[in-house]
Structure 1
Amino acid sequence: MDLTVLQSRFERRHPRSKSFYEKALLSTPGGVHGNLRHYPPFPLTFEKAQGAYLTDADGHVYVDYFLSYGALILGHGDPAVRMAVQEVWEQQGTSSFGAPHPLELEMVDTLKSLLPSLESVRFTNSGLEATLLSVRLALAYTGRTHLAKFEGHYHGSHDHVLISIHPAEAPHEARRPAPKAASFGLPDYFTDHTIVLPYHDWDACEDILNQHKTEIGAVIMEPMMAGFVPADPGMVKRLREWTSQHGVLLIFDEVKTGFRVSLGGAQEYYGVKPDLTTLGKVVGGGFPIGVVGGRRDILDLCSPLRSGQPLFHSGTFNGNPVSLAAGLATLRQLRQPGFFDNMVKSAMKLRDAIESLSQAYNAGWSTLGVGTIFNLVDTATDPQGTAKTARRLALDYLLMEQGVFSKPLNRFSMASVHGPQEIDQTISAFERAFAELTGRHLRS
């Protein structure tokens, strides 16, 4: 299907979103407050949300699988989260102390009970800040200068990790990926001091690590790339063995996978204990948060009680009571017997239906993911590169027309509010989208 036709239909359906975007362009770079928020021809403007649903500025209602990049695992406006936030105002009387308060201890204890690798914890305000602190701690602890990361893994937009965030397209680059700045404006220091590893080739990965074993202070990785592409479990375990053997710290960036792959994160799924873990999204219950946790001897580097100069870390809103209260209310529900498992079952029901429909319509799509996250994988034999992107955009436009939103080209995240009605509505949307894409009639 011609993508320009679908984009024209999109524009006609969303005149108010288009107007908002055109006004935003006058005073905001690209009309958005984050580059990943943009998609062609313009991003939708949303005005309301409730439970599993979003309502855009033109009144169109969507089943929401975007969920603020997966942060809202209980959906929009969860009653328990709302009550917890209201209690902050009634009991604490403020949104931020900028000083210690009891909810900090409660959240630390909760996190330690769910992720045993967390011996000590520091709060930040975002996943970006969490990965920044984790890298600073790791290099300071080891006294080494280089960070190793995997090609295609995204750890936020700070200079140290904004490198090689897209997989190589050229086959000859796959086994020996070169560090590539993902933005202009990054000092050469960061590409010069970053070792890039191939994600799906342990033999090549090990060769590269061995060449730089005296320079590398830490390996940081998304244990599931983009939150939904699992690594080979054997590779993860061998990486853990290699890093331990050579005095290199292993950092799991679980901002996406934390409390979504399993309640114990990807580290529980693999049975691997990293030295440091970063968290975000779900743990804030829909409010800004980041977490760095791990070995006590590493975290103690930023203790103000440390003899000598501590590694500096601070932040006005670190551990603010609103984010912690919302996060604790979320984690309490996730820990209820059967609660998380039911979400996984819903995800599998939807994934199975999508794959069955794709096969019936010969649409060329499958799904990939673990737990409550998945994405669509283009299995068509012909399209490559930009053609695959165009196929996915076409499908996303059609899904939006049918009342399903995941943000174009984005993964799907399940929430507890995705019940039978929402699942059935989504399955019907996929069927209509596949039918239009393939030019086949709907099945009776």
Structure 2
Amino acid sequence: MELLKDLQQRYRQRYPASAALYDEAVAQTPGGVHGNLRHYPPFPLSFKRAEGARMIDVDGYTYTDYFLSYGSLILGHGHPSVREAVEKVWQIQGTSSFGTPHPMESEMVKVLREFYPSFESVRLTNSGLEATLLAVRLALAYTGRTHLAKFQGHYHGSHDQVLLNIHIDPRSREPIPVADSFGLPDYVKEHTVVLPFGDWESCEPLLERHKNHMGAVILEPMMGGYVPAPTGLVQNLRRWTQENNIPLIFDEVKTGFRVSLGGAQEYYGVKPDLTTLGKVVGGGFPIGVVGGKQEILSLCSPLRSQQPLFHSGTYNGNPMSLAAGLATMRQLSQPGYFDTIVENTRKLREGIEQLSEHYRAGWTTLGVGTIFNLVESGEPPLSKASGDGRLRRLQLDYLLMERGVFSKPMNRFSLSGVHEAQDIENTLKAFEQAFAALAYVKP
């Protein structure tokens, strides 16, 4: 604990401009941030510029960026193809938002359906949160039932129906619904079935017990984007939901175009009924996607003879987001491009693990494709860092920032197409220096 205090004191002294901006923000914004996940102690860094795989903070320090706006920027910051595509929107369309249909919407839907065969129909939204909200609403309306099943440890945005049991207790085989925010109505807890992640034998009895009033099951097929569900769990869940005519929702906001170009559903060889996407699909601009079975999505069609399920949004399908997203997907489709990102991710992970073993640091990596995180060696892969592990991870993250590596404390690492061999080498040097500074072994 003393080491952490020392590192935080060095952090305060090193980043006076970020500290001043944070103090100013706290006076006029709750907690000084416009999203709770952006905060970390003693204050978050503020950045003034980014390019490629680099970010520069307001104190002038440069970082190799593995945060990439929560993994959204798989081409890196300001990729030329994305910039060109967005500039063309101004030149050709002349506006950032029509609020009406336009040709690029159909183009985006066609491209998405090529990558995701489960997409018979698609609706565009403005964020992953909006996408999961719509997907759950559609599924419950389709079944006419009231209960949603979700897995503990899985995050699907901050709307009421899914803001429960985000933190995982690997010892619990029958989790009790727990709200992760006050202000949620009791209805949410009373109509949510929380499932243990990773163990079908524990899940099945809970599903069977509640199947008569269960309207949908939602999960991150890879928790947090980097913890893969056991293949047997995914396959059994798909079988069970099909047998009981209960829609299965894959939340692929983090994993879409990251674990593979076809997402986690391509990795597992499983077609969900509904899928939510975000992040990478917008190329750095706000976007969300709900894709899946036409008979479910048609419920929100204004052409229905009965009252439609309502869904709308001023900026849905805006040309800026679609142009940036289409440019990103065209680049990812270039032969070998995505494979190179995967290979660089593998090299970085192997290098970190070798250094950790040498310095007896106690860390390994976990993930698939272009995304991973550090987890404690020997710990169950489904448990998230807590207690001593969280303390050690924070210490490591502060030391990495001092050495020019940024992923936001406690956050996963995402790679891009502009991370090069020299970036990997420099990052591994930073890890080596950090492990040595923590004195896991004597020199």
TM over 0.5: yes
Which AA in structure 1 matches 2:216?
A
Q: How does 1:140-219 map to 2 (within 5 A)?
A: 140-168=141-169, 171=171, 174-219=172-217
* 1:80 equivalenced with 2:81 (yes/no): yes
Which AA in structure 2 matches 1:196?
V
Q: Would the aligned equivalents of 2:375 and 2:385 in 1 still touch at CA under 8 Å?
A: no
Alpha-carbon shift at residue 439 of structure 1 (Å): 5.3
Residue aligning to 1:294: 292
Residue aligning to 1:344: 342
Match of 2:372 among 355, 371, 374: 374
* 1:13 equivalenced with 2:14 (yes/no): yes
* Structure 1: segments with no counterpart, 5+ residues: none
Which AA in structure 2 matches 1:107?
M
Q: Would the aligned equivalents of 2:359 and 2:440 in 1 still touch at CA under 8 Å?
A: no
Question: How far, CA to CA, are the matches of 2:355 and 2:114 in structure 1?
Answer: 41
Secondary structure, counterpart of 1:109 in structure 2? helix
Residue aligning to 1:237: 235
Residue aligning to 1:391: 392
Q: Would the aligned equivalents of 1:139 and 1:218 in 2 still touch at CA under 8 Å?
A: yes
Secondary structure, counterpart of 1:148 in structure 2? strand
**Larger mean Cα displacement after TM superposition, 133-142 or 1-10:** 1-10
Secondary structure, counterpart of 2:7 in structure 1? helix
Residue aligning to 1:309: 307
Which AA in structure 1 matches 2:186?
D
Alpha-carbon shift at residue 273 of structure 1 (Å): 0.2
Question: How far, CA to CA, are the matches of 1:135 and 1:385 in structure 2?
Answer: 30
Q: Would the aligned equivalents of 1:148 and 1:196 in 2 still touch at CA under 8 Å?
A: yes
Residue aligning to 2:416: 415
Q: Would the aligned equivalents of 1:147 and 1:219 in 2 still touch at CA under 8 Å?
A: yes
Q: Would the aligned equivalents of 2:260 and 2:267 in 1 still touch at CA under 8 Å?
A: yes
Residue aligning to 2:131: 130
Secondary structure, counterpart of 1:195 in structure 2? strand
* 1:361 equivalenced with 2:359 (yes/no): yes
Question: How far, CA to CA, are the matches of 1:385 and 1:264 in structure 2?
Answer: 32
Residue aligning to 1:43: 44
Question: How far, CA to CA, are the matches of 1:25 and 1:231 in structure 2?
Answer: 39
Question: How far, CA to CA, are the matches of 2:23 and 2:386 in structure 1?
Answer: 30
* 1:105 equivalenced with 2:103 (yes/no): no
Question: How far, CA to CA, are the matches of 1:355 and 1:340 in structure 2?
Answer: 23
Q: Would the aligned equivalents of 1:147 and 1:216 in 2 still touch at CA under 8 Å?
A: yes
Which AA in structure 2 matches 1:281?
K
Secondary structure, counterpart of 2:174 in structure 1? coil
Residue aligning to 1:256: 254
Q: Would the aligned equivalents of 2:353 and 2:365 in 1 still touch at CA under 8 Å?
A: yes
**What TM-score do the two structures reach when normalised by structure 1?**
0.97
Which AA in structure 2 matches 1:28?
T
Question: How far, CA to CA, are the matches of 1:88 and 1:372 in structure 2?
Answer: 29
Alpha-carbon distance change, 160 to 185 in structure 1, aligned in 2, over 3 angstroms: same
Question: How far, CA to CA, are the matches of 2:419 and 2:385 in structure 1?
Answer: 33
What is the percentage of aligned positions where both structures have the same residue? 66
Alpha-carbon shift at residue 384 of structure 1 (Å): 7.9
Residue aligning to 1:331: 329
Alpha-carbon shift at residue 234 of structure 1 (Å): 1.2
Q: Would the aligned equivalents of 2:135 and 2:276 in 1 still touch at CA under 8 Å?
A: yes
Which AA in structure 1 matches 2:14?
R
Q: Would the aligned equivalents of 1:220 and 1:250 in 2 still touch at CA under 8 Å?
A: yes
Residue aligning to 2:70: 69
Alpha-carbon shift at residue 441 of structure 1 (Å): 5.9
Q: Would the aligned equivalents of 1:362 and 1:438 in 2 still touch at CA under 8 Å?
A: no
Q: Would the aligned equivalents of 1:346 and 1:423 in 2 still touch at CA under 8 Å?
A: yes
Alpha-carbon shift at residue 281 of structure 1 (Å): 0.1
Alpha-carbon shift at residue 378 of structure 1 (Å): 1.5
Question: How far, CA to CA, are the matches of 2:321 and 2:440 in structure 1?
Answer: 48
* Structure 2: segments with no counterpart, 5+ residues: none
Which AA in structure 1 matches 2:305?
S
Which AA in structure 2 matches 1:9?
R
Q: Would the aligned equivalents of 1:124 and 1:318 in 2 still touch at CA under 8 Å?
A: yes
Flag as ranges the 4+ runs of structure 1 deviating above 4 A.
Answer: 439-442
Question: How far, CA to CA, are the matches of 1:371 and 1:176 in structure 2?
Answer: 31
Deviations 1:327-377 (A, max 9, x none): 000000101111110000000000000000000011110000000000001
Q: CA RMSD in A?
A: 1.2
Q: Would the aligned equivalents of 1:406 and 1:412 in 2 still touch at CA under 8 Å?
A: yes
Match of 2:273 among 265, 272, 275: 275
Which AA in structure 2 matches 1:286?
G
Which AA in structure 2 matches 1:367?
T
Alpha-carbon distance change, 356 to 439 in structure 1, aligned in 2, over 3 angstroms: closer
Which AA in structure 1 matches 2:204?
E
Alpha-carbon shift at residue 438 of structure 1 (Å): 2.0
Secondary structure, counterpart of 2:176 in structure 1? coil
Question: How far, CA to CA, are the matches of 2:165 and 2:355 in structure 1?
Answer: 35
Alpha-carbon shift at residue 308 of structure 1 (Å): 1.0
Question: How far, CA to CA, are the matches of 1:398 and 1:126 in structure 2?
Answer: 33
Q: Would the aligned equivalents of 1:152 and 1:164 in 2 still touch at CA under 8 Å?
A: yes
Alpha-carbon shift at residue 168 of structure 1 (Å): 1.8
Deviations 1:134-156 (A, max 9, x none): 00000000000000000000000
Secondary structure, counterpart of 1:375 in structure 2? strand
Alpha-carbon shift at residue 385 of structure 1 (Å): 3.2
Residue aligning to 1:434: 435
Q: Would the aligned equivalents of 2:73 and 2:283 in 1 still touch at CA under 8 Å?
A: yes
Alpha-carbon shift at residue 217 of structure 1 (Å): 0.8
